[in-house]
Each structure stands twice: as C-alpha cells, then as structure tokens.
C-alpha cells in the first residue's frame, strides 16, 4: 500500500542519514512516477512529496498538465533526444542526463532561461550506459562554459543493476569525489554541489556516499 511504502522510504532515508550523521533534509527524494498515472502520482502530494521525476518527455508533459494546480518540481531524469529538447526543456526544473555537447548546444539554442543540469557520468564504464566517463568529466564540464544558459548543478549516475553492495558504494564514492573536485574548481557555470544517485535498489548506499538527490520509483508504487 502506498502509505506503507512511503513510511518505509522515509524510515530508510532517515536511518541512512543518521548512520553517517547527515541531516534528513539534506537528501531530496525525487518520486519517479514513470510507471504510474497522474492520479497515482497525485496521491504522493499530501505526504509532502512534490519532486517528481519522469524519463520520457511526453509523459512528463502529460503529468505536468494534469497536475498543473500543484507546485511541483519537475525532474527529467532520462535520455533526451535532441529533437525533443524544444518541447520540454523550458518546462523542467532539472535535467539529470546531460552527457554530450551536441545536446548542450541544442539546449542552449532552445532555452529561454538558465537550465539547471546534472551531468550524467558513466562511472561503471558499462558499454550500454549513457554518460561521460569519469576521466572525461572535467573537460566536458569545462567546455560547457560556452553555453551561458546551462548551469551544471551537480553530477548524476546510475549504478550497475547487478553490482554488489561494495561495488556500488565504490562507484557512488567515486562520483562524490569527482563532485568535490569540480566544485573546488569554482567554475561560475558549474557550482556542482549536488549528487543525483540512488534508486530503489541502492538509495541507502547512495545516501551513505553523499547523495543529495535520490530517484525512487518502485519503492513507492509496489504492491
């Protein structure tokens, strides 16, 4: 049931925070609503969840229209095709999957205001996975300085589905170290304070490693 799932998530987040002496409110829970209808998503709002994540442009826009009476922060968390940029980029509060310069150029072209972006990093170097490699991250972010409408607010990653807890923690920690490194460069276009990592399977580990944004779908909406 939804209410049980919510309580479970809240407990897990606060316990994970306690273990590493972080404040519970230092972790933003993004409810990933991609598997449910707008009506289902709406039920989360009275419980205080108002950050919603979608990985498809059309679904995000549909839900946004259906829930327009609420003050929701919208996160586009998945791959964005260049031809879709114009439809959605001015509608989202955060884009979590910036990973190549052609996409950055298209965002710059279509943006009507500064767009808050996470750079997606393929920490585990899986072939099929999106994102820049850790080694390429500095150069990529430095190059984004030429797009004044792109602000790099942080880094995002996805852990391998079949990783062990130790491996996943290692990947998340590597991303946290990279975030610290970029932040220390004090680039005006890349404050890079945030870390978007952790899903249903691994958000506890992510919080331990310093996640500021966890993206949780299944744990909310499972039976």
Q: Which of 82, 80, 43, 46 is nearest to 60 (CA)?
A: 80
- Of 3-42, binders to ligand PLP (CB under 6 A) are 32, 34
The three-state secondary structure class of 36 is: coil
122 forms part of the interface with ligand PLP (CB under 6 A): no
Among 77, 190, 197, 205, binds ligand PLP (CB under 6 A): 77
- Name which of 207 and 216 has its Cβ closer to ligand PLP: 216
**Measured from the CB of residue 36, what is the shortest distance to ligand PLP in angstroms?**
11
- Of 82-101, binders to ligand PLP (CB under 6 A) are none
- Name which of 10 and 189 has its Cβ closer to ligand PLP: 10
55 forms part of the interface with ligand PLP (CB under 6 A): yes
Q: Which residues fall within 8 angstroms of residue 167, CB to CB, at 6 or more apart?
A: 124, 159, 160
215 forms part of the interface with ligand PLP (CB under 6 A): yes
**Measured from the CB of residue 200, what is the shortest distance to ligand PLP in angstroms?**
3
80 forms part of the interface with ligand PLP (CB under 6 A): no
200 forms part of the interface with ligand PLP (CB under 6 A): yes
Distance CA 157, CA 24 (A): 21
Among 7, 8, 125, 218, binds ligand PLP (CB under 6 A): 218
**Measured from the CB of residue 151, what is the shortest distance to ligand PLP in angstroms?**
20
Instruction: Give pairs for 58-62: CB < 8 Å, separation 24+.
Output: 59/34, 60/88, 60/91, 60/92, 61/87, 61/88, 61/91, 62/38
**Contact (Cβ atoms closer than 8 angstroms) between residue 93 and residue 75:** yes
Determine phi and psi for 211, rounding to 5 degrees: -55, 135
**Contact (Cβ atoms closer than 8 angstroms) between residue 74 and residue 60:** yes
Residue 192, Ramachandran bin (φ over 0: left; ψ between -120 and 50: alpha; else beta):
left
175 forms part of the interface with ligand PLP (CB under 6 A): no
**Measured from the CB of residue 157, what is the shortest distance to ligand PLP in angstroms?**
10
Binding site for ligand PLP (CB under 6 A): 32, 34, 55, 77-78, 158, 199-201, 215-219
């Amino acid at each position: 049931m939804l209410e049980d799932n919510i309580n479970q998530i809240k407990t897990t987040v606060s316990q994970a925070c306690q273990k590493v002496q972080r404040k519970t409110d230092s972790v933003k829970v993004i409810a990933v609503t991609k598997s449910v209808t707008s009506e289902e998503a709406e039920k989360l709002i009275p419980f205080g969840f108002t950050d919603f994540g979608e990985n498809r442009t059309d679904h995000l826009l549909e839900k946004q229209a259906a829930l327009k009476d609420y003050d929701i922060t919208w996160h586009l968390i998945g791959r964005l095709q260049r031809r879709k940029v114009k439809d959605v980029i001015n509608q989202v509060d955060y884009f979590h999957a910036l990973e190549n310069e052609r996409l950055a150029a298209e965002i710059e072209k279509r943006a009507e205001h500064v767009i808050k972006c996470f750079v997606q990093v393929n920490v585990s170097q899986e072939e099929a996975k999106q994102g820049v490699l850790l080694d390429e991250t500095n150069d990529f972010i430095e190059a984004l300085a030429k797009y004044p409408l792109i602000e790099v607010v942080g880094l995002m990653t996805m852990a391998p589905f079949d990783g062990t807890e130790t491996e996943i923690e290692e990947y998340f920690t590597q991303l946290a170290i990279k975030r610290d490194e970029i932040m220390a460069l004090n680039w005006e276009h890349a404050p890079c304070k945030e870390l978007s990592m952790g899903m249903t399977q691994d958000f506890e580990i992510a919080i331990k490693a310093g996640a500021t944004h966890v993206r949780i779908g299944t744990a909310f909406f499972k039976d």
